[in-house]
Chain A
Amino acid sequence: MRTRYRIALAILAIAGTVFGWSAATRAQQVAAFTDQQATAGQSAYTQSCGGCHGRTLSGGGEAPALAGSTFMGSWGTHSTQELFTRIRTSMPPENPNSLSVDTYTAIVAFILKANGAQAASSALTPETNVAIASIANGQMPAGLMAAAGAPAAQGRGGRGRGGRGRGGDDDSTAPTAPRMGLTLPGSIKSYTPITEEMLAHPPDGDWLMHYRTYAGWNNSPLTQITTKNAVGLQLKWAWPLEDGMRQQITPIVHDGVMFVSTNMSNTVQALDARTGDLLWEHRLGPIGTAGQNATRTMALYGNLLFYPATDATLYALDARTGSIAWKNKMSEFPDDKIGGIMMAKDKLLVGVTRCNELDARNHCFIAGLEASTGKLLWKFYTVARKGMPGGDTWGDLPDDKRSGADAWIAGTYDPQLNLAFWGTGQAKGSSRDQRGPNGDALYSNTTLALDPDTGKLKWYFQNAPGETLDLDEVFERTLIDHGSQKTLMTVGKSGLMWKLDRVSGKFLDVKETVFQNVWASIDMKTGRTTYRDDILEKKPGEAVASCPSPSGGHNWQATSYDPANDLLLLPLSQNCAMYGGGPQLFYEMPGTDGNLGRLSAYETNTMRPVWSFQQRAPFLTGVISTAGGVGFVGDFDRTFRAFDVKTGKTLWETRLPTTAQGYPVTFSVGGDQFVAVPTGYNGGSPEQKPTTMLRGEIQRPTIGHGVYVFGLPKTVN
């Protein structure tokens, strides 16, 4: 007995020794980076990555999480070498492979450390090929989280926010820092205050808000530019906007003044809309890394111009001078951004996005403010928490794990019903296997009808219950009447074109606008969608095919409604991806012969397709239409074109210095009609994903943010 006991002890001892040696060896083998690399990587990450992926690596918008279970689910089975290659070849999105090899290596080291990997004495190299799951567990060290969550250094290249100019703090260590503050005060004399009546019925020559009209039509009553004379359009003036960060702006125009902005430094400028002369400039800041969210919308009311800065501060500037009337910080969470703003009577409605810090009880919301003072009146949280209506649609998921439903696109408004209509984005984590329960996750991917005075929810319709492929249904809600029937139409990333009764929220109809293979069935009585079986059964780390890809059959490039022909004009994108198993793998959409861009027109009363054309380059501007029968749209390949709204035939086109990106507008000054289009890069997934497929084929510079204004020759006028 004693002998047996001794033998057993000996076996245990040997086993323990072997196991201990093995574990130690394993630790030595897998520890693949140094602390110095991780520290350098954290700095580089904050500088080059944090604006999109979040300071806490939680992801945001279209940028995936780089830490935690979401990251491990996607990357755990992949190697450090694959992660390095992926980052080097695709990041930063506007200029891949632009950092040094050492910097990319350091960023990978930081990501590994942020996922619980232990540093050691051996340095990570591009050739290091270790399975990520063998060294990381997705648990971020507490200290690192605190450091990562700390406010980042403001400014590009480590520069401080302050400058030597007016309104900035002196910073003798940053001799190249730009001037900040009201760098050119204005004194516009002839500015007419915007009234509620003007918002409801905009002057013909103005473009007062994001979609021009409350109803979201992106349509102008101007008729000077026609299908006959559009061929004569010529450049009238151009204005460069500060390069860097995202560029997806909507210029807005009132009384011959155009307001533009750039989110690199949160600079707002007033320009003479006829000549392009600068009337005033306010460099609000912050500069740089905090500015990765696109600023798409501004709004006007009274003498105020509202601008959502990239640090979630909402500014009201005097539209005549550029001086600050009031400001309101909409969220204290460092990654939160303002997604879209809109006026509804005297209320300023504000959507908040990027609120993805799990465990932080941080949730996205839509807020109502008193426009004249900035006073917060109400908030509607877009994530249903426990005990709230819809709270059970997240299963048992704790409130601090419920995230997403970002309000990152501005809504529309019906003054008669006194209802504001907003869409929301997908739940986070983006896939069901990351979230745990397979519930509907209200109010993600939902159409919301809100009372702008109180924030009370009148009705909702969830366009994509339990969404799992990052296919947002957040985009513009277009309000169209057919006789006495008041409808709301919207198109989501999966390309489904929805028609709802906007009085009740009742589902009316749905139509596919691009090829899709994610929805296996659609209940035409309720509008409820059901995924393919293999999507529902997807396990963590598995990839499934998604057509369209998460860059969307439709995305932020807004539609236009032409009331003369009852046509909804849709800029569409045609690509697919293998999604959910590490890096997204892109490919051309079946049935498109490699055409990544499509522009289509649908008659909204019948949902009948009327015309369509497609091309290799995707469209990266919204579409606008005019009473002159002319539509305008721009694309990735630097082409801006005028087309016949009735037929889709191209009437005129020109090449711009870089990608046409943002929202075109048309306006008139002194009786002359103009059309303006922004250019830029870093347009989010609709621009970045096709880049994968067009690299080496379509060349374009990654500088050139600006706005270009076209008009007819004087002889035509």
Chain B
Amino acid sequence: MKTLTTWNVVRPKIRSVSDSSAWGWGPMRIKIKATVLLTVLFLMPLAAAEKYQVYLSPMPFTDATQPIMTGKGSASATLEGDTLSISGSFAGLSGPATKARLSLSRGPGIPGTPVVDLTLVGDVAGKVTGQIKLDPSQLAALRSRKLYIQIDSDKAPTGHLWGWLLEEHEIAGQDVPLKGPWFWPPFAVKTK
């Protein structure tokens, strides 16, 4: 099994060094410098912060509950080492926000279970922050798009806004067509 084509996943890129003769160096120096360069490049992804973005939108609703499921927001998250830092804001809720948490699910768009509370400041508009040390399974969950932020309100105590932590990506807007490939979170696994 291999994962679905990940052309739409933003990752630090490693440039090819295959054409070393073009650099005009001797074979030994090339080997040393190439080794150093490769080591640095290899370590770069580990050291570089991973950036994620969150679009907060209303939880599932019906026509009847739609009037109370108002509001939206956004957040960004940075993973440095095993520490995830979250900072976001929201506005337009029909009632005061009561709780914010980081939750775990099977994948984007699928309800899950709470992992840890986040710091919530505000009322019908406000801010959400958090700094969480992730264990290996939570790190894997983050990288496979299974973590999401949920904000409850007194009008919707079991969930008002939610949004998944997705790798940073560009949004294709109206009148600004995005040349492919463009982003959406891959989910299915293609097998042969």
Contacts and interface: CB of A to CB of B under 8 A. Distances in A.
Most chain A beta-carbon contacts within 10 A, residue among B172, B176, B185: B172
A577 B60 contact: yes
Interface string B157-187: 0000001101001011111111111111111
A599 to B, nearest CB: 8
A96 interface: yes
Contacts of A613: 172-178
A591 B57 contact: no
Contacts of A515: 108-109, 184-185, 187
B184 A692 contact: no
Interface in B105-128: 106-111
B63 interface: yes
B173 A524 contact: no
A613 B176 CA distance: 7
Interface string A373-409: 0000000000000000000000000000000000000
Contacts of B182: 609, 612
A615 interface: yes
A593 B171 CA distance: 8
A695 B174 CA distance: 21
Contact of B62 (A534, A585, A610): A585
Interface string B60-73: 11111011000010
B64 A89 contact: yes
B62 A588 contact: no
B9 to A, nearest CB: 12
Interface of B is mostly: loop
Interface in A544-602: 545, 547, 576-578, 583-595, 598, 600-602
Interface in A632-688: 647-650
A86 B66 CA distance: 11
Nearest to B72: A594
A592 to B, nearest CB: 7
Contacts of B177: 611-613, 647-649
A66 B109 CA distance: 28
B108 A587 contact: no
A694 to B, nearest CB: 10
Given A547-B109, A589-B109, A695-B66, A521 B188 contact: yes
B174 A578 contact: no
B60 A609 contact: no
Contact of A590 (B64, B108, B188): B108
A647 B172 CA distance: 13
A198 interface: no
Given A524-B190, A524-B192, A588 B57 contact: yes
Contacts of B62: 86, 89-90, 583-586, 692
B143 to A, nearest CB: 15
A482 interface: no
A522 interface: yes
Nearest to A691: B63
Interface in A508-528: 512, 514-517, 519-525
Given A613-B174, A613-B176, A591 B61 contact: no
Of B107, B166, B178, B180, most A-chain CB atoms within 10 Å: B180
Contacts of A201: none
Contacts of A586: 60-62
A29 B186 CA distance: 51
Contacts of A609: 180-182
A585 B189 CA distance: 27
Interface of B: 1, 4, 55, 57-64, 66-67, 72, 106-111, 163-164, 166, 169, 171-192
23 contacts: A520-B187, A521-B189, A522-B190, A545-B110, A545-B111, A576-B60, A586-B62, A587-B59, A590-B163, A591-B169, A592-B55, A592-B184, A601-B180, A609-B180, A609-B181, A611-B180, A612-B178, A613-B172, A613-B176, A615-B174, A692-B63, A696-B66, A696-B67
Would you list the 6 A-B pairs with minimal beta carbon distance, nearest first?
Answer: A609-B180, A648-B177, A585-B60, A590-B108, A89-B63, A515-B184
